[in-house]
Amino acid sequence: MLKPRATRDPLHEPLPFRDALAVWFGQNGRDYPWRRTTDPWAVLVSEVMLQQTQIATVLGRGYYTRFLSLFPDPATLAVAEDEPLLKAWEGLGYYRRARMLRETARAVTAAGGFPDSLDTLQKLPGIGRYTANALRAFAHDRPAAVVDGNVARVLARLLDYHHAVDSPSGLKHLWEVAERLADPHRPRIYNSAIMELGQTFCRPGVPDCLACPVSAFCKTPEPSALPVKTAKPKTERIHTHVLWARDRMGRILLHQEQGKRRQGLWKLPERTPEETADLPEIATRTYGITRFHVTMHIHECADAPAREGESWHPEEAIATLAMPSPYRKAVEALLA
């Protein structure tokens, strides 16, 4: 694919660059539910969900609309218990986000509403530079720059920037550039447009430069080589051994996690390889989490004694419990 040669510089001609994005977005922008609202709470929920989850997951499985139907405002979430909160978040992963969102809701409720200044927004629990700017732009239509993974990729290609975009110096540079390019008069439109550009034409790998509405401003001759990122740790393969234990009444033994990452969630109880060596293995499941590739070996065990943190649950109650996605899929398959 031949990439169009750059004939303009976005930093020297920011107005035409912004206009080109705005025209394209006005004709082709996607209709996401969080783009139909200026409610800062609805915008915040979308931003927190999308931090580490793809749009297709958030929308396709109804997480966003379902969460807002359960917790339509900060005051409702502020008083929510763990069980309904984690159940509503089930399948999105990174459950610390849900609890931090509740802390934000409590602070906003106590303050009587959302602030709109960057300094005050960043004093809220869980609100950093990106989220504060996103709230400013998308909820209040106030001047603000946002830099997420999509925007970082677009900027790196526009400027032919060959330093690691996820390094401290790289992030600092991209935020400076983003602030210079940000549209002070159309912040909601501009930021939505540049983020969507990174999701569509300026996608990871080989982009569609011929269709890009700002290709004339893009300096890099090899867009597929950018952005540069720091090397990630190698994926580590690990094995876990869990029990599928049912008592005489048909109840299932589950363990409630207490660690920081999945605190409060229910899963099949783990045992050591030695403890499961003589138990029949009835299924295996594989899944990825951060830098680990996990193989979960499921062993059948009748009426095992419950240990600390473990309890028996009727089959009909399983659907109401909050459970990590790999365990939910395993349990549903075994019940089927």
Annotation marks residue 47 as catalytic:
yes
Residue 14 structure tokens: 């920011």
Residue 133: which residues within 8 A CB-CB, separation 6 or more?
A: 118, 144, 145, 146
Q: Measured between alpha carbons, how far is 264 from 245 in angstroms, rounded to an integer?
A: 20
Beta bridge partners of 267: 255
Candidates 47, 90, 196, 310; catalytic one: 47
- Give the residue numbers marked as catalytic: 47
